[in-house]
Amino acid sequence: MGVTSTVEENAESVDEEVLEELNEKLSVYMDKNGLRSTSQRRVVTDVFFRSTGHLSIEELLAMVRERDPKIGYATVYRTLKLLKDCGIAYERHFGDGVSRYEIALEDEHHDHLICLECGKIVEFENDEIERLQDELAKKHDFTLKRHTHELYGVCGRCRGKKN
């Protein structure tokens, strides 16, 4: 498959205010569940919160090890599972067999356009599609919980390269 990098359009990480919200939410969840704040978890979550895009465990591990080379990959897996469980991270699958993680911001939802050549990922939001989905669910008497919607194609730059 083509998802080798996670270059983004509009790639900007969250600001300090949002970062604090994320840490607060995490802290509340951990307190509530008797979980402990360890140096490894702090490194992993901080790296993730300051990151941009849709990162694989491997990519996260590399970044994490720049700060603490001793951290094992099982810890990264476990910490991202934790973030997923408390609703701070979305786990995405773009068809290449690896899980990718992205920050789940409150009141924000988007889907993805993925370039099969260079792996560029563009986020999109479309209220009309969301509305049509709700309509479809209603028509078939389903209570919608979540959805996946990915468009795969070739981006303009990659198309250009081939000519």
Partner DNA sequence: CTCGATGCAAATGCTTTGCAGAAAA
Partner DNA sequence: TTTTCTGCAAAGCATTTGCATCGAG
Q: Which residues bind a copy of itself (CB under 8 A)?
A: 9, 93, 95, 113, 115-116, 122, 124, 126, 128-129, 132-133, 136-137, 140-156, 159
Q: How far apart are CA 43 and CA 56, in angstroms?
A: 16
Site string for DNA, 1-20 (x = CB under 7 A): --------------------
Measured from the CB atom, the residue of 58 and 150 that comes closer to a copy of itself is 150
- Is 51 a residue that touches DNA (CB under 7 A)? no
Q: Which does 162 bind (CB under 5 to 8 A by kind): a copy of itself, DNA, none?
A: none
- Is 40 a residue that touches DNA (CB under 7 A)? yes
Tell which residue, 133, 107, 35, has the closest CA to residue 78: 35
DSSP assignment of 31-65 = HHTT----HHHHHHHHHHHT--S-EEHHHHHHHHH
Measured from the CB atom, the residue of 62 and 129 that comes closer to a copy of itself is 129
Q: If you search the block for the tokens 């792996």, which residue do you land on?
A: 119
- Is 97 a residue that touches DNA (CB under 7 A)? yes
Q: Which residue(s) pair with 100 in the sheet?
A: 56, 92
CA dist list (Å): 85 to 20, 118, 136, 160: 19, 31, 28, 41
The residue ranges that bind DNA (CB under 7 A) are 34-41, 56-57, 68, 70-75, 77-79, 81, 97-99
